[in-house]
Structure 1
Amino acid sequence: MDTEAAEGPKNVAPEDRTVETNGSSGAGDDSSGPGKASIPRKPSIIKDNTRKNTRKKTVSFSSFPEDKPISKVSDCIAIMQAGSELIKLRAPSRQFNRVFCLSEDHREIKWYPSSKKADRARVLVDNIKEVRLGKNTETFRMCDSSSVSFPEDCCFSVIFGDNYESLDLVASSPDEANIWVTGLSYLTGSNRSKVSLWNLARSVKHRRSPEAVERNQDMRDRYPLL
């Protein structure tokens, strides 16, 4: 007698076998049922609901891109309303960094911070007699005769009031000075054909650095207009 048959069946460890599905094994088939094994999808295509968009929403202070061309007077007005940091001159030794803004109704120019009362830290547009580009006032001439000097094309003056007082300002760039002179000249109706409107034909590009934008916003937060 065969000894192996008498001993009976031996315990044999089950073999590792791969279970095949009856259907196609495409990556998009995730159905399961009798006779079918679930095929996991690749991690790269599994949607992870635990992940959230961590990107913060931010609001840019300046509504004008850095290289936006200025082609209309309305562009100048909009930039003036957004505000510009200018140097306000009283004398060679008295210089003040101030943010100047045109009011929404286009009736006045305001600046801050200021030790003056709110009604004095402003110039009414109706009271403006003249807008001068360059160093054309006594204050600028005094600066030139001293050790203090500014680029000619960054300087401009606003002549206002019955006594023809001057608001002498220095912009950070020639383009910024021209934007203010153009806008004010248009609002006052003076010298429209001569003063600074030639800049519109040049499509002046207003360049405001991120540092200047941040500095202007910080001054607005600390010294809000009344």
Structure 2
Amino acid sequence: MQCVRKKPKRSKSQELLHNEQSPNITSVNLQFLGMDGDQDLNFLLKGTELVKVRSASWRKVRFYKLQEDCKTVWHESKKNLRPKHTFSIEDVECVRPGRHTEGLRKYTEETMEMRAFSILFKGHRKNLDLIASTEEEARHWVSGLEKIISNMSKLSQEQRTEQHP
């Protein structure tokens, strides 16, 4: 039986190098997508806490953040055994503002309409139903994700793979 261990953390020098390069990588990727200086994307890059809704009793606060590659969203999870805490924007079919999925209509109050949104994935993956702290946060997430999806769909397959890591 294998032991389950967390990945080793970066050394101080590796962390400093990563922090130096991160804004440069992000800037290059935003320029590549034609979205440099976009307020919604800058908001997503900083990240926010959102409430993930699965049922009437299952609601978890998770930190969500757009990665530096501008095509992957990372989210916090308490499950150490789970291999991936990310999803690709390319796997997202659409983003729906409001309580328009069955789960959000069933498990949230009408007063949350402007703070709620859902990420619908391609294929058989479950929807991701989320509630932001404010209406403004929800607007940033919906608008930012829609812009990335739209701009990425305009890129050819070759251009998508050329995008910087």
TM-superposed CA distance for 1:114, in Å, is: 2.9
Q: Out of 98, 105, 109, which is 1:134 matched to?
A: 98
Q: TM (normalized to structure 1)?
A: 0.47
Partner Cα separation in structure 2 for residue 189 and residue 164 of structure 1: 21
Q: How does 1:88-167 map to 2 (within 5 A)?
A: 88-115=52-79, 117-119=82-84, 121-144=85-108, 150-163=111-124, 165-167=126-128
Shift of 1:149: 5.8
Give the distance between the partners of 1:149 and 1:98, measured in 2 at CA.
22
Distance, in Å, in 1 between the alignment partners of 2:111 and 2:66 is 24
Within-5 A mapping of 1:133-212: 133-144=97-108, 150-163=111-124, 165-189=126-150
Distance in 2, Cα, partners of 1:102 & 1:135: 23
Aligned residues: 115
Q: 1:150 to 1:164 in 2, by over 3 A?
A: farther
What letter matches 1:152 in structure 2? E
Identical aligned residues as a percent? 27
User: SS of the counterpart of 2:44?
Assistant: helix
TM-score by length of 2: 0.64
Going from structure 1 to structure 2, the CA distance change for 1:158 and 1:130 (only over 3 Å counts) comes to: same
The one-letter amino acid of 2:54's match is R
Q: CA deviation at 1:123?
A: 1.6
Structure 2: unaligned runs, 5 residues or longer: 1-35, 152-165
Structure 1 residue identity aligned to 2:59: Q
Residue 162 of structure 1 aligns to a residue whose secondary structure is coil
Amino acid aligned to 1:107: K
Higher relative contact order (CA 8 A, sep 6+): 2
Matches within 5 A, 1:10-89: 74-89=38-53
Task: Choose 123-132 or 164-173, whichever is displaced more.
Answer: 164-173
**Amino acid aligned to 1:134:** G
Q: Secondary structure at the match of 1:91?
A: coil
Q: Summarize deviations over 1:89-111 as a string: whole Å, max 9, x none.
A: 11111000010000000121111
Distance, in Å, in 2 between the alignment partners of 1:81 and 1:168 is 20
Q: Larger % of helix: which? A: 2
Task: Write out per-residue CA displacement over residues 130-151 of structure 1, whole angstroms, 9 at most, x where no aligned residue.
Answer: 100000111112214xxx6651
Q: Report the AA paired with residue 99 of structure 1.
A: F
> Which ranges of 4 or more aligned residues in structure 1 deviate by more than 3 Å?
none
Contact 1:76 1:179 in 2 (8 A): yes
Q: Tell which structure's C-alpha radius of gyration is larger.
A: 1
